[in-house]
Amino acid sequence: MAEEKQKGNEKRIAVAKIYVKDFSFESPQAPKIFKSDKWSPQTNLNLRSTHTRVDGDLHEVVLTITVNAKDGDKTIFLVEIQQAGLFELSGYDDAERAAITGSYCPGILFPYAREAVASTIQRGGFPEFVLQPINFDALYMQSQKQGAVTLASTEEKH
């Protein structure tokens, strides 16, 4: 009986499934953009992740990456992917689970999304595009600090 109790408290993370939930690519200036000798696109990268409890210990984490390349006010290309995964998380308290779904799980999903974005941009006729590695631990900590600051300011106003 003591073994069952100890086993029930065992911490476990397992990847049940990794999949693309949504994916889009737009190149509104094609094919005329390929004839231009002078364009220097500015790229904008937007990252966000969401977490939903599916059932019991099963959690869905969705990492959304949007890359928008513009030349002036004209969009050269726009890519958006929602790379998702089902993760089994057991034995963790709420704070630990929040850190795992906010940092560890997006880190697992990122290489899949990164490859899909890079290959799609290249298939769209554009030069190689490499997303640099991302420190999801630091992003999670930053979001927690901003949340604490927002909460503290909200509490002070009341």
We report the CATH number of the domain holding residue 112 as 3.10.420.10
Averaged over successive runs of 10 residues, the pLDDT of the chain (158 residues) comes to 56 96 96 84 92 94 96 94 97 92 95 97 93 89 69 35
In a domain, 3, yes or no: no
pLDDT number for residue 158:
32
Q: Domain tally for the chain? A: 1
Q: What is the pLDDT of residue 143?
A: 82
- 147 belongs to a structural domain: yes
On whether residue 4 sits in a domain, the answer given is: no
Cis peptide before 31 (omega within 30 of 0): yes
Q: 131: which 2 tokens?
A: 């997303």
Burial profile 44-53: b = 16 or more Cβ within 10 angstroms, e = fewer: eeebebebee
Supply the range of the domain harboring residue 41: 11-153
pLDDT at 147: 65
48 belongs to a structural domain: yes
Residue 98 in any domain: the answer is yes
